Structure 1
């Protein structure tokens, strides 16, 4: 077996082991997170998400699944990837320092009861730790997806899903599976909720989700 072949086998085995541990230890947590969001988002609540590097892409992936759709047709829900707000990100970094790029956005956009999801393979990024502190001070639950325990972000979060894997790439790959499982749990919980109960709760927050309608065809121009 060549060295590249061996490395590929070891990578796949590491991922397989990490997913086995996720399946054993993480499914109940992800189901509970999905059910929590199914009560929050249709009532006008919001999910904020953030990460650095590859975890920034994961945060955007999660919010895109909620604003768009994961699989089945459903209303759009409010979710913002803070790392995608490039003008805010660079302005805050320039004026206040990179450690504050997410915390200041949490202070701006978060409301008590909204959820902040922070994704980090190390669990040690100062800007995510600052965001967690700001969120908890403002009354937002903090959920973390990290690499192995112990790490500072898992300790500061209200709840954490920690992937026990030695390589950054394996942690990120397992995070992708986890966020898809979260979206599946959310969709299943939303589909199973009583629409009347959701209608009663919606005005309490920011209003009902806006139904997405096809854009009208442009008017034909006449000569």
Structure 2
């Protein structure tokens, strides 16, 4: 590796870090929103309700991370809660996209699984993905609540959802990194609301 390549790589890395630092002050509002979501979600799940989550690409991985923390645990022990990651349902995904328009990918699963009062969390760094927008619209049509984690406003997903946490940053990687923080804040709020105690690591 040449010195020029090393220097260029360092500048890129520091620019990435600067993007994250620049986005953090405005993210405080999002933290408050997501903390409140966690409080409400804990009550809903404790009462037998269900959470559905979905996203594309890296957002799909974060949706799966969220549901895993609720079915398993985040930091503290709690009873397993009903949380389904729609982007992890590979047989359903391939069957739906084979037989229906692409925007039905998550919406059809929402229609199948969501009940009135359930929560559907949708993640998109751009907020423009047609399949997550359609899922938000379908959630509302069946009486579920659609919560969106998006990038900068305005965007289609934010307009289709009931509530939104929007990261005001044009760099998708930074948006995704702060969405992960939001997922952890939400899980911590669930733990706090349930009053659960820490278990073995």
* TM-score interval for Structure 1 and Structure 2 normalised by the shorter chain: over 0.9
Match of 1:137 among 141, 146, 149: 141
Q: State the TM-score, normalized to the length of structure 2.
A: 0.92
Aligned to 1:8: 13
The separation in 1 between residues aligned to 2:53 and 2:146, in whole angstroms, is 10
Match of 2:85 among 78, 81, 86: 81
The separation in 1 between residues aligned to 2:140 and 2:106, in whole angstroms, is 13
Q: What pairs with 1:55-204 in structure 2 (closer than 5 Å)?
A: 55-191=59-195
The separation in 2 between residues aligned to 1:16 and 1:76, in whole angstroms, is 35
Q: Which runs of 4+ in 1 moved over 2 A?
A: none
Q: State the Cα RMSD in Å.
A: 1.1
SS of match in other structure, 1:19: helix
The separation in 1 between residues aligned to 2:32 and 2:9, in whole angstroms, is 37
Per-residue CA deviations over 1:43-100 (Å, capped at 9, x if unaligned) read 1000000000010001001000000000011111000000000000000100112210
1:22 paired to 2:36? no
Q: What's the offset of the Cα at 1:21?
A: 1.7
| Count of residue correspondences | 191
Structure 2, unpaired ranges of 5+: 1-5, 197-201
